[in-house]
Amino acid sequence: MPSLAYARWVYAMEVLVATLCDSANDYNGKLCLLGCFDTICAQQLPVVHPQCSLALRICFRPEDEGAHEFNIAFIDDDGSEVMPSFKPNIQVGFPTDSFFVTRNLVLNIQRSKFQNAGQYSIDIQCDGNMITRIPLRVLKADEAPQSPEPPASPLD
């Protein structure tokens, strides 16, 4: 069991990674990510994003042992769901003398449709409690802010 000194700064379940990306895999307990993003820039609306992955890495503590029900919902800026929510379950067990265990959750999402430009979020709940929110924005290409020119190199 954890020592009292260790227990003073340890919190219950903690989200270590929560992101949208081009692809993600759980490779023998390692979370492998490629192309994390938070913006979709579309030539026209509505836009259908062909494929992406939602990747989570969650650290559980001994008091989190047992079954956990997640609810993952894509929400628009009015608070409405833009696609059916996902409801994965995770069973958490602990080896003897373990201070924590981590679990990866990867959801591959095909053909996400966004009707309008605006602010969206992926709201992630566990056992009815919000644990994190991932922001996502959809921009129309002709309305997207332009990146400023990079500063000149001091060597130029």
Specify the CATH number for the domain of residue 101: 2.60.40.2550
Question: Which range of residues forms the domain containing residue 46?
Answer: 11-142
Position 137 scores a pLDDT of 96
CA distances from 142 to 43, 49, 113, 139, 148 (A): 8, 18, 19, 8, 16
Residue appearing with tokens 């995770």: 90
Position 150 scores a pLDDT of 61
CA nearest neighbour of 70 among 16, 11, 122: 122
Residue 55 is assigned to a structural domain of this protein: yes
Q: What share of the chain is helix, strand, coil (3-state, %, to 5)?
A: 5, 60, 35
Strand partners, 117: none
Residue 21 is assigned to a structural domain of this protein: yes
State the total domains in the chain: 1
Position 11 scores a pLDDT of 58
Q: Give the chain's residues under pLDDT 70.
A: 1-11, 143-156
- In 3-state terms, what secondary structure has residue 105? strand
DSSP state at residue 110: E
Residue 17 is assigned to a structural domain of this protein: yes
Residue 129 is assigned to a structural domain of this protein: yes
Residue 136 is assigned to a structural domain of this protein: yes
Residue 40 is assigned to a structural domain of this protein: yes
